[in-house]
A and B are shown apart, each in its own frame.
Chain A
Amino acid sequence: MTQTYIARSARIAARQLGDEMMIMSAVDSKFFTLNPVAVTVWLAADGKTPLHEIVTGRVCQEFEVSPEEALRDAEAFVSDLSEHGILLVSDQPIATNAAGYVE
């Protein structure tokens, strides 16, 4: 089974306000708001943990959602952010800097 690994780009500005995360792309100045579930995925995007493990090990532990639904939502979220270069996606582990971002 092919794994999906995700990592955060360093080319963003981000701030958590309450249970939402505000992210601005430094590349095209686009602005994104992450809901609490997406924030959990975002914070776990370390380039080393496969997406399905993030979903089963984090999202499903913290929120009342089935693994199938959570994975479907997470894949859509990852696809959306990766189109804007905010999340990097690979079928191999992704190297990150000490702060957990991809330069």
Chain B
Amino acid sequence: MNSTMAAEVVVEIGGIAVLLRSEDARLIPLLESRFGTFAGSGREPGYEFEITVIDGAALADPDADVSVTAEGSLWRMERGDFRAEWDSRTRQGRITQTLTPYAIDSVLRIVHSLALAQEGGFLLHAASVVRNGKAFLFSGVSTAGKTTISRLAPPDASVLTDEASYIRRMGDGNGYVAYGTPFAGEMGTPGVNTSGPIEALYFLGKGDSNHFEEIPRAEALRMLMRNILFFARDEELVNRVFAGACAFLERVPVRRLNFYPDERVWDLIG
């Protein structure tokens, strides 16, 4: 039998806190377990969601792909295991989902990507690792080696994510910071909940030796835009993301890194 007493948890990623509340008390422990150190933040939440848990059979198509539409400030997101509405003006929303800790992932990615776009940041299809106080980003196609290079990171390094890098502009505008995220790729584990100033972005390729070269700005922009995660064809959003990517390239070196998959590649990176 379900409890009717609302339970809640605050999930904080990249310094942005989201309150998740549900009257189904079974869900919150699942979310706390799913989000690990990202759950239980004491920060004042900037966004709130009421979550209703329903039987999986009540959703039209459990295997449908995610779809995102925007009408003014109202965003609608739908996939096989959830439906969500979110008002970017009030920063409040509702989610109807099955009893799974993963349905909320898509909603959080979308909300965070929109929040980041407002301030010149973005989510990037990339691994990120902090070592010696500096963050390094590794992007590329699915087989480029993002998970491989994350696994090869030295013991003194912290893997922030092997899938979706969280990038915010520094408050003084002089650089960018990468934050850990719970969004995992092949590694299957959430990233370390820490952060670091971004030293460089590498686009990965595999080779017989380790070397890198700077990528010309125009090509870097093309590659960067191809890997930024944004979820709706909204004109204002496209303009913001494009401007954010251009500004990022003015501050962060972008390189092509060909590497042989063993730990020596990290001698080259730093």
Q: Is the CB of B72 closer than 8 A to any CB of chain A?
A: no
B239, A26: Cβ atoms closer than 8 Å? yes
B218, A26: Cβ atoms closer than 8 Å? no
In the complex, A11→B238 CA distance in Å? 10
What is the CB-to-nearest-CB distance from A67 to chain B, in angstroms, rounded to a whole number? Answer: 28
A residues less than 8 Å from B242 (CB atoms): 13, 15, 24
Interface size classification for chain B? 10 to 19
Q: Is the CB of B89 closer than 8 A to any CB of chain A?
A: no
In the complex, A11→B242 CA distance in Å? 13
In the complex, A22→B217 CA distance in Å? 10
Q: Is the CB of A20 closer than 8 A to any CB of chain B?
A: yes
Nearest A residue to B235 via CB reads A26
Stretch at the interface among B23-31, B194-202, B220-228: B220-228
A27, B233: Cβ atoms closer than 8 Å? yes
Given contacts A13-B242, A24-B238, contact A18 B233 (CB under 8 A): no
Within 8 A of A (CB), among B221-270: 221-222, 225-226, 230, 233-236, 238-239, 242-243, 246
A27, B216: Cβ atoms closer than 8 Å? no
- Number of A-B residue pairs, CB cutoff 8 Å, is 40
Binary flags per residue of B161-183, CB closer than 8 Å to A gives 1, else 0: 00000000000000000000000
In the complex, A93→B226 CA distance in Å? 35
B233, A33: Cβ atoms closer than 8 Å? no
Other-chain residue from A13, A18, A33 in contact with B238 (beta carbon distance below 8 A) = A13
- CB pairs A–B below 8 angstroms (16 shown): A13-B243, A15-B242, A18-B216, A18-B218, A22-B221, A22-B222, A24-B238, A24-B242, A26-B233, A26-B234, A26-B235, A26-B236, A27-B235, A29-B230, A29-B238, A33-B222
8 more A-B contacts (CB under 8 A) besides A17-B218, A18-B217?
A13-B239, A13-B242, A17-B221, A20-B218, A26-B233, A26-B234, A27-B233, A31-B222
